[in-house]
Chains A and B, each alone.
Chain A
Amino acid sequence: MPPFPTSKFVSLPYPTQSFEGQTIIVTGANTGLGLEAARHFTRLNAAKVILGCRSIAKGEEAALSIAQTTGRKGVCEVWQVDLGNFDSVKQFTERAAKLDRLDVVCENAGLATRNYREVEGMENTIAVNVVGTFLMALNFLPILRKSWKKTGNVPKLVIVSSDAHGHVRTHISCYNLVCSDFCVGNKD
């Protein structure tokens, strides 16, 4: 990894591979990377693209934008989910369990903030980016395996991380981050 970002000057291959017939879930799909990834999947002939969003209204705007730019209507569906609400995460995966198939999950939803807030009794960033994200990932595993058995297509679970992980050079503890006062109440 370079010591500073060079992203603008590194060109990435324009996606051309087909996702024909596939069902794909993208979380945080109403804006930014999630929206543009969902747009690619739709353009690349996915049968169903589920936009996991906190706000149904913002999700519907995204779905409309994708339908307009790709010319493919009725592909995107908006499902409500909030990674900072663990019941919401469980309901989301329970709903996904009823899908005929599930080929790709892009867990893109996440946040960066300097403002200390608590949800589910823990600090918001850790609750959303880590605990909610892997609560969702582990609940997706049986659904993805079932889809593989049915279709033979190997499903992918993609976690959107960051080169920023390299900014931490000391040991860390989940208990410290999630449970102890380093997280709850500690605003460093």
Chain B
Amino acid sequence: MVKRYPNSKLLEVFFVRELAEQITKGSHASERVIINTISPGFCRTSLSRETTGLIFIMFSVMKLLVGRSAEAGSRTLVGGASAGPETHGKYISDCVVTEPSEFVRSEEGQKTQKRVYTELMDILEKIQPGISENV
């Protein structure tokens, strides 16, 4: 379970990158909408509330040393909500469009992105048939 959270956040970055591209190529391309991902940084919030023991202590110390307040972190959400079309599909860290991780940008990452998109769309189609037409 150690990597579950980072994995889930990587899947989000991959899916939004590919979704934005597919929207731009799709039948609704002329109807404008912006989708982006943001990173709020390391915040003093209750996200790590379910951790215990040494990890709990580590998170508590890190929050104290390098964590920003929930209010400061929330500015990144407001930033994403008022961003322009140049942020479509992009990753915005600390309110600035930033390159995602090296793995995301690697050749293997590019292939993984396509696969993640296809696989997740299959899963979503099983939950709600026809949903991919919304792209």
Contacts and interface: CB of A to CB of B under 8 A. Distances in A.
Interface in A22-44: 24, 26, 31-37, 39-41, 44
A64 interface: no
B135 A141 contact: yes
Report the contact-size class of chain A (Cβ under 8 Å from the partner).
35 or more
Interface in A1-58: 1, 4-15, 17, 19, 24, 26, 31-37, 39-41, 44
Contacts of B66: 4-9
A156 B32 CA distance: 9
A161 B36 CA distance: 10
B77 A160 contact: yes
B40 A188 contact: no
Contact of B85 (A17, A154, A179): A154
Given A8-B65, A86-B127, A1 B101 contact: yes
Contacts of B101: 1, 165-166, 168-169
Interface of A: 1, 4-15, 17, 19, 24, 26, 31-37, 39-41, 44, 86, 90, 104, 106, 108, 110-116, 123, 125-126, 129-131, 133-135, 137-139, 141-142, 144-145, 148-149, 154-175, 177-179, 187-188
Interface of B: 1-13, 15-16, 19, 23, 28, 31-43, 45-48, 50-52, 55, 62, 65-68, 70-83, 85, 91, 93-95, 98, 100-104, 108-109, 111-112, 115-116, 119-120, 123-124, 127-128, 131-132, 134-135
